[in-house]
Amino acid sequence: MLSWMIFSPLIGMAAILAMPRNRPDIVRWAAVITTAVPLALGVMVFSQFDRSTAAMQFVEQVSWIAPFNIEYYVGIDGLSVPMVLLTVLLSFICIFASWNIENGVKGYFAMFLLLESAMLGVFCALDFFLFFVFWEVMLLPMYFLIGIWGGANKVYAATKFFLYTLAGSVLMLLVMLGMYFTTEPHTFSLLQLANLHPFSTMTMDLFGWQLPMDKVFFVGLFIGFAIKVPIWPFHTWLPWAHVEAPTAVSVILAGVLLKMGTYGILRISYPILPSATLWAADAMAILGVISILYGAFCAMAQKDLKKLVAYSSVSHMGYVILGMASLTTAGVNGAVLQMFNHGTSTAMLFLLVGVIYDRAHHRWIVKPDGSRGFGGIAPVVPVYTGVMAIAVFASLGLPGLSGFISEALVFLGAFSVPRFQMYVIIGSLGIVLGAAYLLWMFMRVFLGPLNEEWSGLTDMNWRERFTLIPLTILVVVLGVYPMPVLKLMGTTVAKLLTSLT
């Protein structure tokens, strides 16, 4: 079933490539059908998933390259299921959000489907080699999606994304090879590596220094994953890529790709390198707090709506890192829930930015010349304003919407660790700052006297409403009752934490 889910977009991609070039509508509907298949399978996984066990489920294991003991080995547990669901949902929505792509429609949707395959592969892979291949396969479609269908600075943004991500993943490659060759028998299986985790007693030689192997591996992996998250100071690719990418690609980037970094840390670094994880927890917490504050301050300074949302991602992913670093049940549960909730709320924000950009062809809060970009448009576009309000409040953590619960859990978890209390106090400033930049933005764009230039703005059409309604429902429902997601991951998180201590 997982294989069907991973590879059905690829089948769709092949079909789309075989279609005639002058019939874009057929291509679009083919993409809809193709992404509907993983979505349906995702719903089936959600209903059939056994929440009482931490073991891998829906496992498929076939030998792939026998001489190196590489396997096609996929399966999901409580950590992967929320991410898989997020991926299939956002991919489906993004097809509709890409409806207005006119140029090179075939190529666009083919790349998009390849990307979906790779993302699902990353979240399902249980073999390090397979994980790495899926991880890297994302590079090329992402490069082209940003570079061909992006905004004004697309080439620079695409190249920067490409190089940063590759730099991170080559370090991961070295760690992967190092792990493979130091275990006996040589294996790429993540579960087997987690069972053996022999690295804490080994050392490696660098110009005569004997470095502890597990810490070197942890740092190498962490840099690779931190670039993806991105954690300060590895975040500089993010504003470029997010801002220049077309709307749907920004949604995927912020909604799914960023989570791969934190997912990788939880899936690979934590179970395989437990002692190094304990060693690095403090540093991770500090980096998390810096990301929270730095992202928030940067967001506050932005005049471009999309850039503001992009920097808010840096800030919100900081909460995830802080929660993960706490190594407490509440903290890690909160972190994974925050991964999911940030996926939905930030996807809403990017979709909404896309909506207004399609109409106004700019997205300045304040134009470079100092005049108002928008202002007072709430009465002109009431539905849009309402949905935006929900997204903004969810993002800033208003109780009753999804962001609140996950952030509260993160802080609760981190605060229960005595040495992290200071970090929590500083980090909680991020909530205030988050409220500040989001509400300030809301005020400047939607409230106040109407900017007459935009009095003719049209409200969201049915296609746009269709993309936002499911996310709005999720944000509200999970804000009131988060148990569906928490139950999915609870057992797995508990097992992960017992294996660490």
Q: List contacts with other proteins (CB under 8 A).
A: 65-68, 104, 132-133, 136-137, 139-140, 143-144, 147-148, 154-155, 158-159, 162-163, 166-167, 170-171, 173-174, 177-178, 180-181, 204-207
Q: Is 375 left (phi over 0), alpha (psi -120 to 50) or beta?
A: left
Distance of closest approach, residue 39 Cβ to other proteins, in angstroms: 25
Which whole-number Å values give the CA distances from 329 to 333, 337, 417, 481, in the listed order? 6, 12, 11, 18
The phi, psi pair for 188, rounded to 5°, reads -105, -5
Q: Given the complex with other proteins, which of 163 and 473 has the nearer CB atom?
A: 163
- The CA distance from 168 to 178, in Å, is 16
Q: How far is CA 108 from the centre of its chain?
A: 21
Q: Given the complex with other proteins, which of 272 and 410 has the nearer CB atom?
A: 272
| Rg from Cα positions in the chain | 22
Q: Given the complex with other proteins, which of 159 and 499 has the nearer CB atom?
A: 159
Q: Given the complex with other proteins, which of 11 and 366 has the nearer CB atom?
A: 11
Distance of closest approach, residue 152 Cβ to other proteins, in angstroms: 13
Distance of closest approach, residue 92 Cβ to other proteins, in angstroms: 25
Q: Given the complex with other proteins, which of 144 and 437 has the nearer CB atom?
A: 144
Distance of closest approach, residue 147 Cβ to other proteins, in angstroms: 4
Distance of closest approach, residue 306 Cβ to other proteins, in angstroms: 20
- The CA distance from 476 to 429, in Å, is 24
Distance of closest approach, residue 501 Cβ to other proteins, in angstroms: 30
The phi, psi pair for 226, rounded to 5°, reads -65, -30
Q: Given the complex with other proteins, which of 143 and 340 has the nearer CB atom?
A: 143
Do the beta carbons of residue 180 and residue 272 sit within 8 Å?
A: no
Distance of closest approach, residue 140 Cβ to other proteins, in angstroms: 6
- The CA distance from 226 to 251, in Å, is 19
- The CA distance from 341 to 254, in Å, is 11
The phi, psi pair for 317, rounded to 5°, reads -70, -20
- The CA distance from 115 to 137, in Å, is 8
- The CA distance from 365 to 289, in Å, is 27
- The CA distance from 205 to 181, in Å, is 15
